Structure 1
Amino acid sequence: MGRNTRKRRTPLAAKVVAGAAALAVGGGGLVWANFHASAHEENPDHNRTRSAAAQVATIDCPDVGQELSDVPDRARGEVDGELATMDSQITEAYKRLATTRRAQAGDPRFVENTILGPLKDRRKAIIDRIQLEINRAGGRADGDLDRLAGCQGRPAEQPQNDGGQDDGQGQDGGQNQDDNGNGAAGPVADDFIDINDVEPNSRDSQNGLAADGDGGSTGTFTTDCGVNENNLFNSDNLIAAPGVDNGAHHVHDYVGNQDNDAFSSDEDLANADTSCQNQGDKSTYYWPVLRLQDGTEEFDANDLGGGAEGNVGRILKPAQAELKFVGNKQSDVVAMPKFLRIITGDAKSFTNGDANANSSWSCTGFEDRQVTDKYPLCPEGSQVVRTSNFQSCWDGENIDSANHRDHMAFVQEDGGCPNGFQAIPQLQVRLVYDIPTPAVENGSVRNPYAVDSFPEQLHKPITDHNDFINVMDEDLMNEVVDCINSGEDCR
């Protein structure tokens, strides 16, 4: 499996991160963030070492980008670049956290003094630049953004082997057999749940409600864009980090538009080929890949965004990718503007909290049981399902916003849009995967599957997300709207 995208020069800073990550490569493959690796080092107090290693599992930083609502258009490129640099800083700090366990065991202030303190200083410098860029462009920057500079260490529920008696290495000092190739970066056994243990109709997240219903506009429009047969992968994010190589720090599947990377302009998107059967749909649909952590070395095993940042194992393409637009329970829908950008879900939900989380996991045959913060264990003959119901209320003016969220809203409990927002066709993405069910026993998981993530997010299922840029031509968009408002089911 290869990468089908334009070749870009790797910035020097990115090469430094890659080189540092390569320090974690051993004979058994990539061992990223093995949090218990120090337990057999020359330290007689194994219990103390193990306890210290478990104290800080990841780094939790306030999301500066989510706090930015007033960024002038001409400053957004610079600000997005600064935010991407912040993400790289967190990745570097997380790598250092993961590879200094012996030092942490011997010094209770090591994490604060050597990792979090310097990180705060670097983040403050970027925040200062963001404020300056906003003000120079005629905006008014929040003068209190410095409060977001500091990060904290966060423990994670990492169960010890054999009730905590094992120190994470075999007698030969080899790789922890439970780390699945990336150490304690996850997932762990507690990230999985038997689908039979999920209560039917129990998902209580307001985010992601289906907009369609018995009233209003009841039609549908389905577009078939394949399952990434062209092997278009990259670790960019054109919406959140335009112009930044490896801006996502994890790999995306792409269907639809075939010229989608960090450097694609709207003109590039409009002139590109498309994998959609209807050639009027050049929209880009993308989501983080799922991987089976079975020891496979993928094409990106040593690359940023891939194995060099803890995203290891075999990339799993969906067996089905269903892309459907539906209506609104309360009203007709209006056409989406061309190049409208929508992000649903939050790639940083593990540390940001679940306010923007919008993942939905289930199994075929059990889709009345949905869960946001666990990966499902499906019975034999059943497949894993990922579903994203996008925001479908538009502010009527902007194709994007400074935090990439404020121009869009979810429907309210009654199915209608908030005041000042208009109903547009709701995109629903349903991805179905053939995945061997992982074995979960005695607090351990073997050959798990996991969504690609920012390294510090530990591959938690709640970080799943989905992205869309509308590049339908005017005739097709009008057809979509007409089908939905007239109650027809069209393709």
Structure 2
Amino acid sequence: MVRNKPVTAAVAAVAVLVLVAAAIVLSGTSSADRYVEELDQVAHEQEMPGFVVRCGTNSERHLNADNPVVSPGIPFGAHHTHEYVGNKSADARSTDESLAAAPTTCEKDDRSTYYWPVLRLTDGTGPDAHAEGGGVHGNTGEVLQPRSVEIRYEGNPVSAVLPMPRFLRLITGDPAAFSSGFGPNTRARWGCSDQPGRYTTRYPLCGNATTVRSYEFGSCWDGSNTDSASHRTHVVFPVAGGACPPKTFPIPKLRVVVGYDVPPGRPFAIDSFPEELRDPATDHAMFINVMPEAMMNELTGHLNGAR
């Protein structure tokens, strides 16, 4: 998704006003108002076998305003800054060949790319206040490094899974959720570490607990393509109960959970397209599979053997 709309001071000012208003609203709401219970989902998650890949928390600060899945070949094509773990070379210029040759922060030589918009404290300025993806596109503030990042693959509740094809590209969530009226691609899940299983599409107030962002990717593959024009139709989500729709095949379900230590009382927001006003519902994440085939086979065997 490439955006070429100019950013004006008026747009940036409106974004700040919206964030302030959101903070006021949230600070006056009760826990019951802010959160949505997903008890059935929690029970399902607890039953599913998993395979965790440790990739660190981006201590080397691999950040850029590129999007190698949605806008390959276009520097600053994201118009907001992304945080990466895994492949150390991922940027707008990445190709299958360059990703396969690059080093990684993940264990077992998993060279896959996992990335999502940065989270910032918004009551100050960061070093990119005058840079593309940062202040030029209305995204200001100090970027917070994640406290924790969990990369987890899960099986399918009704069927064995096939290995993911190498160089498979995925996106979850809708970076244009605000302007598109919060449609079916909106999948933002915010929560607090001290209230597991409770999620919201709004910014949560977690106090001294860890602020959590959770991303779940589609896991029903069309059997032939590693990408599609929308970056969505080649891999879709299961239907109720976990079965894959007709003419699709179950693959490992990728779940990424990112935790942050947000100082109590400090306002924060994710990066977004300027017109999305940093709305929390626009949260999204991307993935490129560059896992060694032997590791993918090990992962698939583990998930199928645990069924």
The two structures share one fold, judged by TM-score above 0.5: yes
Q: Deviations over 1:48-101 (max 9, x none)?
A: xxxxxxxxxxxxxxxxxxxxxxxxxxxxxxxxxxx62xx112xx1x527549xx
Identity %: 41
Q: Does 1:340 align with 2:168?
A: yes
Correspondence 1:189 to 2:22: yes
Q: How far did residue 368 of structure 1 move?
A: 2.3
8 Å CA contact 2:15, 2:278 repeated in 1: no
Which residue, out of 405, 413, 427, partners 2:254? 427
SS at match of 1:278: helix
* Residue 164 of structure 1: aligned partner: none
| 1:286–1:467 contact (8 Å) kept in structure 2 | yes
Counterpart of 2:140, as a letter, is V
Contact persistence 1:395–1:408 (CA under 8 A): yes
Relative to structure 1, is the Cα distance of residues 486 and 212 closer, same or farther in structure 2, using a 3 angstrom cutoff?
A: farther
Q: In 2 relative to 1, CA 363–223 (structure 1 residues): closer, same or farther, beyond 3 Å? A: same
Question: Residue 391 of structure 1 corresponds to which residue in structure 2?
Answer: 218
Q: CA deviation at 1:294?
A: 2.3
Q: Aligned partner of 2:19: which letter?
A: G
| CA distance in structure 1 between the partners assigned to 2:20 and 2:233 by the alignment | 31
Matches of 1:371 and 1:189, distance apart in 2: 14
Matches within 5 A, 1:61-460: 84=2, 87-89=3-5, 92=6, 94-95=7-8, 98=11, 183-184=16-17, 186=19, 188-189=21-22, 192=26, 196-198=31-33, 202-203=37-38, 214=47, 218-279=48-109, 281-295=110-124, 297-354=125-182, 355-372=184-201, 374-379=202-207, 381-438=208-265, 447-460=266-279
SS of the residue 1:330 aligns to: coil
Aligned to 1:33: none
Determine helix, strand or coil for the equivalent of 2:264: coil
> Higher strand share goes to which structure?
2
Q: 1:188-241 CA distances to partner (integer Å, 9 max, x unpaired)?
A: 32663657224775359x9x9997575xxx431100100111111100001110
- Residues of 1 paired with 2:138 and 2:10: CA distance? 14
The answer on 1:462 being equivalent to 2:291 is: no
Distance change (3 Å), C-alpha of 1:410 and 1:187: farther
C-alpha distance in 1 between matches for 2:42 and 2:248? 17
Give the count of matched residue pairs: 304
Q: CA RMSD in A?
A: 2.5
Q: In structure 2, do the counterparts of structure 1 residues 414 and 401 end up closer, same or farther at CA, with 3 Å as the change threshold?
A: same
Superposition deviation, residue 307 in structure 1: 1.1
Please name the residue that 1:133 is paired with: none
Structure 1 residues 219 and 368: alpha-carbon distance in aligned structure 2, compared to 1, 3 A threshold:
closer
| One-letter amino acid of the counterpart of residue 197, structure 1 | A
Which letter does structure 2 place at the counterpart of 1:460?
D
Structure 1 residues 326 and 210: CA distance shift in structure 2, 3 A: farther
CA distance, structure 2, for counterparts of residue 212 and residue 436 of structure 1 = 29
2:172 alignment partner, SS class: strand
Counterpart AA for 2:58: N
Q: Match for 2:229: what amino acid?
A: A
- Mapped to 2, the partners of 1:270 and 1:199 lie a distance apart of 42
- For 1:88, give the aligned amino acid: N
Query: 1:187–1:330: structure 2 CA closer, same or farther, 3 Å change rule?
Result: farther
TM-score, scaled relative to structure 2 = 0.92
Q: CA deviation at 1:317?
A: 1.1
What is the rounded CA distance, in whole Å, between the counterparts of 2:20 and 2:219 in structure 1?
32
Deviation at 1:278, TM superposition (A): 1.8
Query: Residue type of the partner of 1:476?
Result: M
Q: Is there any run of 5+ residues in structure 2 with no aligned partner, and where?
A: none
SS in 2 for 1:406: coil
Using a 3 Å threshold, how does the CA distance of structure 1 residues 96 and 311 change in structure 2: closer, same or farther? Answer: closer
Whole-Å separation in 1 of the counterparts to 2:218 and 2:179: 22
CA drift of 1:184 comes to: 2.7
Per-residue CA deviation, residues 99-155 of structure 1 (Å, 9 max, x unaligned), is 9xxxxxxxxxxxxxxxxxxxxxxxxxxxxxxxxxxxxxxxxxxxxxxxxxxxxxxxx
Matches of 1:275 and 1:403 in 2, distance apart?
29
Pair 1:481-2:300 in alignment:
yes
Query: Matches of 1:224 and 1:198 in 2, distance apart?
Result: 35
Counterpart amino acid of residue 459 in structure 1: R
1:323-356 Cα deviation digits (max 9, x unpaired): 1000111111100000000000011100113210
| Structure with higher RCO (Cα < 8 A, 6+ apart) | 2
